[in-house]
Amino acid sequence: MGTDSKVVSDQVRTVPLSESQLDFSGQPYSVSVLKPGYCLPQTDGTFRADGTITLITGPKTILVDTGGPWDRDFLLTSLRERGLEPGDVNVVVGTHGHSDHVGNLSLFPAALMVVGYDVSEGDSYRPNELADGHGYVIDEHVSVVPTPGHTGQDVSVQVRGTSAGTVLVAGDLFERCSDEDSWRDLSMNTAVQEVSRREAFRTADVIIPGHGLPFRVLRD
């Protein structure tokens, strides 16, 4: 076990990844963290925060969380560095409605939007069963899954078949690796979030949290 690993339970431990480990290739989908999120307490009692921005590329181009409005130019530049314009993004997922996660939705008017438990295309809203605990399937490799707790309608994006196994882009279900000292203070419902976190530990090989670097999940 590495010195930075964290024992979560008798069966699970987590290992943080580095800033050089932000890309997870795969077939047919690859996952890239465009910007790791952060949360930095300030001396005046405020804190500076921004949400992780993640791009999933393959048969569909999927953006998970758009950062805050202050990330607009960064996001456009990051997409263009990968040969993409906003109109090339097929699906935009907002893991929850906080401003540091959904501040640039307006850049993608043509995309299918999944924001919390709402699924829409333009002004047309699609029926779904996220509120009943069922995932919204993008295709056989990618699903939006309900992971409530931080807010009442959090979702995460599950990507199967990457080089690292199953990647879960988790929003604020996890603040960062080894976040036990912080996530509870920010949770709307800690009991519900605990259940969502346990399911993530059961199913994911890599978790991309809302305010930190990705981390591996190792099950004994």
| 137-196 pLDDT per residue, tens | 999 999 999 999 999 999 999 999 999 999 999 999 999 999 988 999 999 999 999 999
Whole-Å CA distances, 8 to 11, 49, 156, 195, 219 = 8, 25, 20, 14, 10
The chain-wide mean pLDDT, for the chain, equals 96
pLDDT tens digits along 16-47: 999 999 999 999 999 999 999 999 999 999 99
Look up the domain containing 215 and give its range: 6-122+132-219
Q: Where are the alpha helices (DSSP H) in the chain?
A: 72-81, 190-203
Question: Beta strands 165-169 and 62-64: pairing type?
Answer: unpaired
Q: Evaluate whether residue 11 is within a structural domain.
A: yes
- Residue 3's pLDDT band (cuts 50, 70, 90): very low
Contact present, 86 and 103 (Cβ < 8 Å): no
pLDDT tens per residue across span 85-97: 999 999 999 999 9
Q: Token pair for residue 20?
A: 């050089």
1 compared with 65, residue with greater pLDDT? 65
Give the mean model confidence (pLDDT) for residues 101-130: 98
Q: What is the pTM of this model?
A: 0.95
Residue 188 lies in a domain: yes
Categorise residue 20: left if φ over 0, alpha if ψ from -120 to 50, beta otherwise. alpha
User: In angstroms, how far apart are the furthest CA atoms of the chain?
Assistant: 50
Assess if residue 117 is contained within a domain. yes
Q: Looking at the domain assignment, is residue 176 inside a domain?
A: yes
Q: Is residue 127 part of a domain?
A: no
Q: CB of 196 within 8 A of CB of 183? A: no
- What pLDDT shows up at residue 4? 66
Count of domains in the chain? 1
Instruction: State the CATH number of the domain containing residue 44.
Output: 3.60.15.10
User: How large is the average pLDDT for residues 125-137?
Assistant: 98
